[in-house]
A and B are shown apart, each in its own frame.
Chain A
Amino acid sequence: MTRRRFDPFRPFRLARALVVHSFSEYAAYRMEMVFWVVGGTLPLFMMFLWIELAGQRATGSFSAADFAAYFLLVFLVRHMTPFVPVPELERAIRHGELSAQLLRPLDPYWPMTAAQLMDIAHRLPITIPVVIVGMIWSGAWQIIAFEDWPLFLLALLGAILLHYNLLYCAGLAAFWMERVRGFEGLMWNGYFVLGGGLAPIALFPDVVQQIVVWSPFRYMMSFPIEIAIGRVAPADTWFGFALLTFWLAFSIGLMRLLWHRGLRRYAAYGS
């Protein structure tokens, strides 16, 4: 039997092909992108609410400009929130559409990841100008710790990947439960509330803060934003990255376990 030679450029060729393919799919539905962006404006409403509250009385250590910077970045991170894995995997597993992907010598994780990246890339031309205009209008740009932006981008990448992987795990539960949208709702609540979507974690009661700091939710949203607005001390930054790395490793391990166990149960119905 012939074994193929290791080709170090294959992953790059695959990535390019998958991203181009995903672009073709997304380009087929231009208006959908606009609706997604408009539908994700909750953080902007939260921003106005908290600015109003901060204008009337002190709210922890957050000023109106702090709230503006924080929630504009929540808006940005929110639009980098993965949404593909749970409904896609549920449908693929329940209806047997996974079969077509299983027949190919490529883990279905990668095409779905490419689709997710393309979805995020599609939203950026709208979300980034909104964030920039919002920062200038509110004066929030003065809050931003520009010197920490490399760390912000690293933490943001980790946050997207962690969130994506955990949603992928929730989607893989369809091998056992077939309908897993409930998981998605549960994770969304954890992500948005405990991740700092409704209010900065710094404003939570101390006990809750101590719990949240160890949970994965902080690293899916709040952690990169805290870095961007200069609210993480250097020592805490490395602690945060260590926990982010731990949760990423956990998510990858859980994903592989669920995948291999799930394939044994896969019934390929309807295909």
Chain B
Amino acid sequence: MIETTGLSKRYTVYRKEAGFVGSLRAFFHREHYDVEAVSDLTIRIGAGEIVGFLGPNGAGKTTTLKMLSGLLHPSSGSVRVAGHTPKERDREFLRSIALVMGQKMQLHWDIPATDSFLVLKTIYDIPDADYRARLDELVAMLDLGDLVNRPIRRLSLGERMKCELAAALLHRPRILFLDEPTIGLDVTAQAAIRNFIIDYNRRYGATVLITSHYMADVTALARRVLVIDLGRLVFDGDLQALIERHSPDKILRVQFAEEVAPDRLARFGTLRQIEGLVAEIAVPRAIVARQAADILASLPVADIAIEEPAVEDVIRTVFRTTGAVGKPA
């Protein structure tokens, strides 16, 4: 369904020193240099798979998604998605994909989502009966209710993201590229989006490639992950194996009712940071529940949460320990 071979993307950017003299110098002479955002990427993703795409900021994840969806032209290498070459942007290809970017709204700000949906209905040639059925289904699956009739600017971030998903899926694409679809959402909205993606994948056998900084997104959705760093693929395989191998700890986030000396926390695990009344302690997975109970019993706790480490932390550990952790498939 998705195949890339030696896919690379280079950008030319210009460098400028700060301040007046730097601006003056840049006005007359610009210093350009190349940045390799994606380098020699070779991947194969089958129909119906949900694959997590992980990597630190600037690793090349979004650039790859943009090349797969035809927004960017690769500098070299080849890419085929559903039998099409994305950069050609032919109509059938565009009908078969959707790219949802969590940090970028695609719906019109001033008008209700339904107005935009009607345009999409025409653009994608969706028959009236199908349109009504799909819209009803999406409204039910995403629990949108009357939100689709309110101007987008009047909606909360989570509500807007649900409308974005509905708009992106109205033409029922076979391939979904999701770039940070839950960023900035509260936990309830994150869970709703995750459940929806799983449901959509099951109902329609859609192929999903998702990037996220939330570990919970990736663990809930994807069994297979691709890890990319500095534009290069460094791991392609099972997610759980990656986590257990490289992140044996969970994070206890504790908010105290009164100030607690750091040395009193050392016995519960590795103190990662303490700021005011909030502390973060790394605790081995096997004993995290026991340690949480001990903290509750022995210290003045106002709130406590057990969290997975951030994906970036896992990846940082991965790179610190092995450099490259797995052979690309």
Q: Tell me the bound Cα distance from A29 to B108 in angstroms.
A: 14
6 additional contacts, CB 8 Å, given A24-B111, A264-B73?
A14-B123, A99-B71, A100-B104, A100-B106, A105-B124, A266-B73
Report B-chain residues with C-beta under 8 Å of the C-beta of A3. Answer: 92
Q: Tell me the bound Cα distance from A4 to B103 in angstroms.
A: 34
Contacts A/B (CB < 8 Å), 28 sampled: A1-B83, A1-B92, A7-B125, A10-B125, A14-B123, A17-B118, A17-B119, A21-B111, A21-B118, A25-B111, A28-B110, A99-B71, A99-B101, A99-B104, A100-B104, A100-B106, A102-B70, A103-B71, A103-B94, A103-B106, A104-B94, A105-B91, A105-B123, A263-B73, A264-B73, A267-B11, A271-B103, A271-B104
Is B303 positioned at the interface, with any CB of A under 8 Å from its CB? no
Q: A99-B66, A267-B72 are in contact. Are A106 and B123 (CB under 8 A)?
A: yes
Is B97 positioned at the interface, with any CB of A under 8 Å from its CB? yes
Is A258 positioned at the interface, with any CB of B under 8 Å from its CB? no
Q: Nearest chain B CB to A131's CB is how many angstroms away?
A: 30
Q: Nearest chain B CB to A223's CB is how many angstroms away?
A: 35
Is A243 positioned at the interface, with any CB of B under 8 Å from its CB? no
Q: A21-B118, A28-B111 are in contact. Are A102 and B104 (CB under 8 A)?
A: no
* A111 (CB) vs chain B CBs: closest residue: B119
Report B-chain residues with C-beta under 8 Å of the C-beta of A13. Answer: 122
Q: Tell me the bound Cα distance from A102 to B116 in angstroms.
A: 16
Is B115 positioned at the interface, with any CB of A under 8 Å from its CB? yes
User: B70, B106, B110, B123: which contacts A29 (Cβ < 8 A)?
Assistant: B110
- The answer to whether B118 and A20 have CB atoms under 8 Å apart is yes
Is B99 positioned at the interface, with any CB of A under 8 Å from its CB? yes
User: B101, B111, B123, B151: which contacts A271 (Cβ < 8 A)?
Assistant: B101
User: B71, B91, B111, B118: which contacts A268 (Cβ < 8 A)?
Assistant: B71
Is B225 positioned at the interface, with any CB of A under 8 Å from its CB? no
| 8 Å CB interface, A89-110 against B | 96-97, 99-100, 102-106
User: A28, A97, A105, A268: which contacts B151 (Cβ < 8 A)?
Assistant: A28
Is B95 positioned at the interface, with any CB of A under 8 Å from its CB? yes
- The answer to whether B125 and A268 have CB atoms under 8 Å apart is no
Q: Tell me the bound Cα distance from A18 to B92 in angstroms.
A: 21
- The answer to whether B115 and A102 have CB atoms under 8 Å apart is no
Q: Nearest chain A CB to B165's CB is how many angstroms away?
A: 14
Q: A104-B94, A105-B95 are in contact. Are A21 and B151 (CB under 8 A)?
A: no
Q: A14-B122, A17-B119, A104-B123 are in contact. Are A25 and B108 (CB under 8 A)?
A: yes
* B114 (CB) vs chain A CBs: closest residue: A24
* A17 (CB) vs chain B CBs: closest residue: B122
